[in-house]
Amino acid sequence: MSSVPNPNRVRLIWLTAGMVMGLFLGRVRTGSKAETRNDSSDAPVENTPSTGLSSRTSESEESIHASRPVPLARHNDASAEAIIAWVRRLPNERTRDELWEGILSGIALSDPKLALETALEVSKHGDRGGLGSLLHQVAEQHFETALWWYQSQPEGEQKRGWAEALAGPWAVNDLVGANAMRLTLPSGNDRQMFTERMAESLAKRVPNAALDWANALPDPEERTKALAAIAGPLGERDPEAGMKLVMSLPKGSDQNAFRQILRRWVDTDLAGAAAWATTLVETSSPGEVSIRNQALQDIARATGFKDREAGMAWLDKLPPGNSHDMAVHSFVSAADGYDIALATQAAMKIQNPELRDAVTAMTLGRWLREDAVAARAWMDANSIPDAIRQAARNR
């Protein structure tokens, strides 16, 4: 069976979940007079007196979803317990899995303890209740309840795995307590993820406090991971400050944060990102060269999509070298889908002869296919060598 979800089935499942939660949250308003079904089935729908939820448990998913919405929409007195009982009675495990997370998320808004206990219970019986994401949601909205529930659970590997869901809200509400909890986790992935979630959440709300906390961590590896996690949220407020933090980190720890900040900066302030990138210098450090090349290439590609004339002018300001040529190549790869003539002209700016000839032949080949007359006129006006012409015709 294909693993790709059937879109109609997914829509039906979430329609059903939405209607159920609409009942619970008081969004469904109906008259007291019962409606009659309009389908052709003769089978009766038996509703429990207290909830109005159908107890029919047909093995057919189609019949479940065809029959549920109408009786559900008749009533507005369904309780959280009744909704949970209704989902439990569904015979298909996959359908239950797809309903639990959305329904428990809604119940958590008003009864977080019940939602968490139910998620824990159904996970023990094989259903996926989305306990980790639910615990994080509850911690964001009702931190004390989430913390009490977590601390009431028996110690063990499962409980340690849930700690990450609490880390961010815990750090914001009680940094001392969250750090004490972090230190109880064994060194390894659980502790690392807890540390990073703490750093991210703090940085989104109180970036200076996040930096002070991270810089004070005694373990160098944990300190680096925390600072790298802070860089992204810091870069949302101040891209240049985020980049400065990224570039202060040891080589190899900065790539994800760097790309995250740069992409957002390019999207929101391309001119500012371009001006910053030109201040970077070539050095013998592999880490810094990589950052400079990557920045110039990403910005050149963005100008090729968004502002080609400005991009051409910006490329002319770059000092010669490999990073200049790679930036031009990135610009050409983006611009040739919009202005093939301009892209071909840009390719000629590449200083490395082999790369210049190869990129020029590539763009010329496309230009010849799109507008042979204009392409030949340009080649003649610019004295393009026969070897490049031939390579372009062969593409």
Give the 3-state secondary structure of residue 54: strand
Least confident of 121-130, 180-189, 333-342: 121-130
Are 264 and 235 contacting, i.e. CB atoms less than 8 angstroms apart? yes
Mean pLDDT in residue range 60-69: 37
pLDDT of 71: 31
pLDDT of 78: 59
Rg (CA), the chain: 30
Query: For residue 335, is pLDDT > 70?
Result: yes
Calpha distance 222→228 (Å, rounded): 10
pLDDT confidence tier of residue 125, bands split at 50, 70 and 90 = low
Calpha distance 20→155 (Å, rounded): 35
Are 292 and 282 contacting, i.e. CB atoms less than 8 angstroms apart? yes
Statement: the pTM of the whole predicted model exceeds 0.75: no
pLDDT confidence tier of residue 69, bands split at 50, 70 and 90 = very low
Task: Give pLDDT tens digits for 200-221.
Answer: 999 999 999 999 999 999 999 9
pLDDT confidence tier of residue 282, bands split at 50, 70 and 90 = low
Mean pLDDT in residue range 146-151: 92
HSE-CB at 345 with a 13 A cutoff on CA atoms is: 15
pLDDT of 283: 54
Give the 3-state secondary structure of residue 283: coil
pLDDT confidence tier of residue 249, bands split at 50, 70 and 90 = confident
Calpha distance 33→183 (Å, rounded): 60
pLDDT confidence tier of residue 131, bands split at 50, 70 and 90 = confident
- In the chain, what are the domain boundaries? 1-129, 154-253, 269-395
Tokens of 232: 């992204």
- Measuring CA to CA, which residue among 309, 325, 311 is closest to residue 359? 325
Per the DSSP assignment, residues forming a β-bridge with 54 are: 47
Query: For residue 146, is pLDDT > 50?
Result: yes
pLDDT of 290: 64
Task: Give pLDDT tens digits for 159-200.
Answer: 888 888 999 999 999 999 999 999 998 888 889 999 999 999
Phi/psi of residue 39, each to 5°?
-85, 175
Give the 3-state secondary structure of residue 173: helix
Calpha distance 50→46 (Å, rounded): 12
